[in-house]
Amino acid sequence: MTVASNPVTETPDPLAPAQLGPVTLRNRVLKTATFEGYAPDALVTQDLIDFHLAVGNGGVGMTTVAYLAVAPEGRTERRQIWWRPEALPGLRQLTDAVHATGAKVSAQIGHAGPVSDSHSTKLKSIAASRCYTMTSMGTGLDRPATADDIDRIIAAHAQAATWAVESGFDAVEVHLGHNYLASSFLSPRLNHRRDEFGGSIACRAEFPRRLLAAVRSAVGDRAAVLAKLNMEDGARRGLHPDESLAAARLFEADGNLDALELTGGSSLLNPMFLFKGDVPLAEFAKTQLPVVGVGLRVFGRGLFKHYPYAPLYFLDLARAFRAELHLPLVLIGGVTDHDGMTTAMAEGFEFVGMARALLMEPDLINRIAADRATRARCTHCNRCVPTIYSGTRCPLLDELEPVA
């Protein structure tokens, strides 16, 4: 495992091979996790394989399969893959296909917690503490995780990590962000517990720390272990950078991570904090149950706030983490060209993550390698985001002229 990065004397080439824990990547560009929406029976399909083949053939160092839930109630909705024996053959088929492109492949694992849609899963959602959320609308409050739940979910993360390695994944990414279950424990707004998992940030970080320890114990040095961590929830009384950095220091000291991916925003409280750019409110409303869709049209501007897009929009927040941590870090948010990649490297980040730009142009990395002046065509309209319910894609592709 990697607990500290080596001193950097010159800016690394983002398109040159790099080491991520025990894994050698052909470059420092990761396709970050975006729920693909291509598993209608919660099992791998050819469409899901093709989704990752496209970015693998397109030149990324590693692609990330999202979102692989550790338990059936941990899915955000019923068409999401959850770890069980019948899912493993399809996952092996997927990893073999991606490896044939020269890319590596990571499994994002986690538990959706209060982000789970109980209408869809038909299972009660759980959170750090009892809370009423949009996803629990009509089914009552999310129930607080019990001690038995916590033990069960920690064990489920370890089992998922074991199955991931056995299925050919090169890395496991533990989801600690976006107010999913582990993130709800970190959030002072969502965690009102009075036991060992509530109160100070050290106590609120205890559950995520146990998850990471269980995953590392399960995989050893057979795979890289990453975590996706909110730097900030972007919500009043939510997790703020000072507490997130304190949690990150604890994760680093534990020595269970090979890299930390820095993100932000809350799927419950402020989703656009993650995306920046345009707010496709009408498209979001069409994907919901009628009553929720009406609510979004009426009140959606309060939930879906507008944040202007800017290149490298998480860089300012991430600098404090880079200054304090030795752990390799993945910078995401507005990385769309070679200039952005080299800026991230010059600032001391070991890897960069891309998502929306690769939905429009899966071959973007190959094109940048051929011509480093290449600029992504993504307009940051965010119309891709609501497509997760019907197969994640760029809706603009049919409207644009093909690239010669």
Cα 87 to Cα 40, 45, 68, 96, 348: the distances in Å are 13, 10, 10, 15, 38
CB-based contact 91:80 (threshold 8 Å): no
Nearest to 271, CA basis, from 240, 302, 243: 302
Neighbours of 117 (CB within 10 A): 24
pLDDT score for 337: 97
Q: Is the pLDDT of residue 287 over 70?
A: no
Evaluated on CA atoms 297, 293, 68, 253, the torsion sign reads: positive
Q: Is the pLDDT of residue 155 over 80?
A: yes
Q: Is the pLDDT of residue 194 over 80?
A: yes
DSSP letter string over 173-227?
EEEE-BTSHHHHHH-TTT----STTSSSHHHHTHHHHHHHHHHHHHHTTSSEEEE
Q: What is 18-399's CATH number, 3.40.50.150, 3.40.50.280, 3.20.20.70, 3.40.640.10?
A: 3.20.20.70
Q: Where are the domains of the chain?
A: 18-399
pLDDT above 70 as % of the chain: 88
CA dist 82 and 111 (Å) reads: 10
Cα 75 to Cα 28, 233, 388: the distances in Å are 30, 21, 14
The whole model's pTM is what? 0.91
* 180 preceded by a cis bond (ω within 30 of 0): no
The C-alpha R_g of the chain, in whole angstroms, comes to 19
Token pair listed for 397: 């592709």
Q: What does the pLDDT average to over 296-324?
A: 84
pLDDT score for 191: 97
Q: Which residues pair with 19 in a beta bridge?
A: 24
Give me the chain's average pLDDT, please: 90
Neighbours of 309 (CB within 10 A): 17
Token pair listed for 322: 């880079």
CA dist 152 and 136 (Å) reads: 22
How does pLDDT run across 331-362, given as a tens digit for each residue?
999 999 999 999 999 999 999 999 999 999 99
Catalytic residues, by residue number, are 180
Q: pLDDT band for position 293 (50/70/90)? A: very low
Q: Of the segments 235-244, 279-288, 303-312, which one has the largest average pLDDT value?
A: 235-244
pLDDT score for 134: 53
CB-based contact 263:178 (threshold 8 Å): yes
Q: pLDDT band for position 301 (50/70/90)? A: low
369: enclosing H helix or E strand: helix 364-370
pLDDT score for 142: 77
How does pLDDT run across 266-284, given as a tens digit for each residue?
988 888 888 898 887 666 6
